[in-house]
Amino acid sequence: MTYAIIRTGGKQFRVEPGSTLRIPSLPGEAGAAIEFNEILLGSDGKASRVGVPTLSGAKVTGEIVKQGRGDKIIVFKFKRRKNYARKQGHRQGFTEVRIKDITLG
């Protein structure tokens, strides 16, 4: 079972070929190819390779499935007895990516 741990958007994700994941927004249209070069760890099922801090020559390729926005969260600020209340909504953008291939180099 081949897998890798990649870093994108300030977060780390465990990816396998064929898996689909939602990551923070990246530029590109649906159907476009995308390549991740910050590979922190990679495994081919037999041996694991750990980067210091990243694996040189390793890459993960994928395809953008869609761009979208997540569920709305409500940010509510309140101070009792001070007549202060503020309500604000937020929807975080995401990019859905399908992983095609993992090359450990």
Domain ranges of the chain: 3-103
pLDDT of residue 105 exceeding 80, the answer is no
pLDDT digits (tens, 9 = 90+) for 32-56: 999 999 999 999 889 999 988 999 9
pLDDT confidence band for 1 (50 / 70 / 90): confident
pLDDT digits (tens, 9 = 90+) for 22-33: 999 999 999 999
Note the residue count of the chain.
105
Between 52 and 20, the higher pLDDT residue: 20
Cα 41 from Cα 104, distance rounded (Å) = 9
Cα 7 from Cα 38, distance rounded (Å) = 6
pLDDT confidence band for 69 (50 / 70 / 90): very high
Supply the pLDDT for residue 60.
95
The position carrying tokens 């801090």 is: 53
